[in-house]
Amino acid sequence: MTAELVRGQNHPLSRTRLTIRISAGVPVLAGATLGDENGTVHGTRWVARPGAPVPPGVEVSQEAAPEHRLAVDLAAVPESVHRVDVFLALPTGTAGPSRFGAAPAPHTAVEDRDGTELVGYTLTGLDGESAVIALELYRRQGAWKVRAMGQGYSGGLPALFADQGLTEAAELAASLQQTAAPTPTRAMPAPSSAAAPQDASAPGTAEQTPSYDPQRLASDRGTQSPVPDHGAQSPTPDHGARNPYDGPAPAAEPAPRGLGGPIDYAHPRRHSAPPPPPSAAPVDDGQPALPVAGDAVGWSMDERLYNQVWGMFEDLARTTAAYRSAVDFADSRLEKEVDQALADPRARLGTSGDIARDAAYARRTELVDQARAVLDRDLAQLTAEAEVVEPALPPAYAGWESPVWHGYRVPAEQPLAVRLGVLHLPESGLLRIPLLVRLPLERGLWIDSGVTEAPDDTVRDSAELRRLAVETAVTIAARLLAVHPPGEFAVHVVDPAGAGAGALTPLTGAGMLAAAPATGAAGVTDLLERLTRRVDLVQMAVRGGAEASLPADVDTARQLLIVNDFPHGFDERAVTRLRYLADEGPAVGVHLLLVADRQDAAAYGPLLDPLWRSLMRLTPVPDDHIADPWVGHAWTYEPSPVPPGSQIVRQVLAEVARARPKDR
């Protein structure tokens, strides 16, 4: 039975000898890269490409063609290889299209050697990319699975190879383009026509097809290349940051499921009816269904993913509540039973007291173990779901480590929600739930730069915290800028003492701000006055039903006001204005992002309490202060981490800057 995959979905592979069939409608290059568990490809010899000796286990076509067959023998792939990425690229310097958006949606299929199709995947929604990773075969706990990737690269093959850690990416891409240039005499691929004749020593194996050359694979197996040096690979980031290669690369748009028709006429973003939600594959009774991204109700893939993430949030809250309730009960019962054992004077002498106490402890352990087993089962299921859902999230929902940000393009419409960070509980292990908040934001945000009690008792430096708080504010602002269509979101900064200048450079450097950060009391007053006027005018216009008659200088884009170091540089009047903006702003598109230490405002006494309460408190470091709406656990919040050393925020902001309307 064929499983038609959507982007991000994976599927187990029961066979190891496979043929990957690619039909693209226009001539394309096809090949495969063999990477380690981090997806890093150690040198060009691990790239199966035309005109070069192939790595063990993989056979590729020799030139660009509309149809390809790649033979893969996963059993022959060296132990060190954990990922086989099948890529497609458009040949350069030909009359054909230069971007996949101008070509029919390529269809890929994984077949066993009998030609039975196991998995199909159509790469829809591509646009300016000229190279794309179509499928990924990867090892997971000793077994191979296939994942629908669809990760496109506008930079073409060089960008694709560079992303896989190949240093000589550009040269490799150039040589590949050259050797694979289609020759007019051979319009159809002949994957193994040049290979040796069939090995007579393996007759009758049903898996044999002409495109498969066991002799060659067998000889390769005998002369396996040495294992790539894994000691040299870059260390994976800790604290749950995901490896960007762990997941496939989804796009912002839902990938409508369809068979590999020659041309995908559907408008990628227009749906007359919502596409059918992907349903979990039927499984045996009693087993939880295999998780599928987007397995929730909703009119669009975005809404489904949003609902799914919130569903996972609720499930985790409730299963943890069950566990905690059981542990509490076990503890109180233990206490009671031990008290009873001690209260009995006869038990004080002799061993009967000890026996009773041991029995009580055993009963507690038994109950807690049972509860833990249930929790672990649920956690395993949710973790499996998160592994599927995270890679399928669009940029607005995805963590900065997600590959989807590498293929970032400015959106045409505002998303449903945005990710402000991740949540977890002490019991939840490595599982992280994205904190998705609906847009437009109904409450302002407050990044608390105050010193909080760290879970690990480390005393954090106040200056360090202030810097982290501004950085967190910047990444949140960058994300908000990136997920809004160009020109529909403007950012203002108040930095009275200029204390955040360094951390604000990603914003100021990319020219993201409407004006330079306001400094000094005068600057603060001026900016607040302008925003107050805007709120007032828009409110009046909305109430009067006269949005069209707003003065020309009123910016109708949503405004985000970042205030650093509040309340420095604020006089009483400015504080009052800020409170007005916090109360009235969100309804008319003016949002607040306050970076402040509440202690600094202690002089105001309780007067500012309503302001703090009206803002959503976030912290630059993990802190357990967010309550879920169902049970009220204290969840540990942490901002979505930007992978160390990653330039992704700057890259995304540069893309946003490029797409900005020039008249602003």
Partner 1 sequence: MSVNLTKGQAISLEKKDGGTLTAVRMGLGWQAAKRRGLFGSRTREIDLDASAVLFAEKQPVDVVFFRHLVSDDGSVRHTGDNLVGGVGQGGDDEAILVDLQRVPVHIDQIVFTVNSFTGQTFQEVENAFCRLVDETNGQELARYTLAGGGAYTAQIMAKVHRVGSSWTMTALGTPSNGRTFQDLMPTILPHL
Residues in contact with partner 1 by CB under 8 A are 314-315, 318-319, 321-323, 325-326, 329-330, 332-333, 367, 370-371, 374, 630-631
Q: Which is nearer to partner 1, 324 or 598 (CB)?
A: 324
Q: Output 186 or 377, the one with its CB closest to partner 1.
A: 377
Least distance CB 327 / partner 1 (angstroms): 9
Euclidean distance between the first and final Cα of the chain, in Å?
55
d(CA 391, CA 402): 7
| Diameter of the chain measured on Cα atoms | 102
Question: Do the beta carbons of residue 90 and residue 99 sit within 8 Å?
Answer: yes
CB 516 → partner 1: shortest distance, Å? Answer: 51
Q: What is the DSSP string of 328-359?
A: HHHHHHHHHHHHHHHH-HHHHSSSHHHHHHHH
Residue 318 CB, nearest approach to partner 1 (Å): 4
| Closest CB to partner 1 among residues 317, 595 | 317
Nearest distance from C-beta of residue 344 to partner 1, angstroms:
20
Contact yes or no for 72/21 (Cβ under 8 A): no
The least CB distance from residue 322 to partner 1, in Å, is: 3
- Minimum distance, C-beta of residue 636 to partner 1, in the bound complex (Å): 19
- How many alpha carbons fall within 13 Å on the CB side of residue 541? 16
Residue 540 CB partners (closer than 8 Å, separation 6+): none
Dist CA 595 CA 8 (whole Å): 36
Q: Which is nearer to partner 1, 153 or 323 (CB)?
A: 323
Closest CA to 11 of 280, 204, 227: 280
Distance CA 126, CA 105 (A): 8
Q: How far is the CB of 334 from partner 1 (least distance, A)?
A: 12
What is the rounded distance in angstroms from the CA atom of residue 351 to the CA atom of residue 373?
33
β strands within 154-211, DSSP E? none
Residue (557 or 631) nearer to partner 1, CB = 631
Other C-beta atoms lying within 10 Å of the C-beta of residue 364: 20
d(CA 23, CA 500): 53
Q: Which of 560, 472, 559, 563 is nearest to 517 (CA)?
A: 563
Cβ 330 to partner 1 shortest distance, Å: 7
Residue placing its CB nearer to partner 1 in the complex, 162 or 326: 326
Alpha-carbon distance of 302 to 294, in angstroms, equals 8
Which of 327, 550 has the CB closer to partner 1? 327
Q: Chain centroid to CA 332: how far?
A: 42
* Residue 356 amino acid letter: A
Residue number with CB closer to partner 1 (193 or 325): 325
Which residue, among 45, 256, 32, has the nearest Cα to 138 in the 3D structure?
Answer: 32
Instruction: Give the nearest distance from C-beta 370 to partner 1 in angstroms.
Output: 4
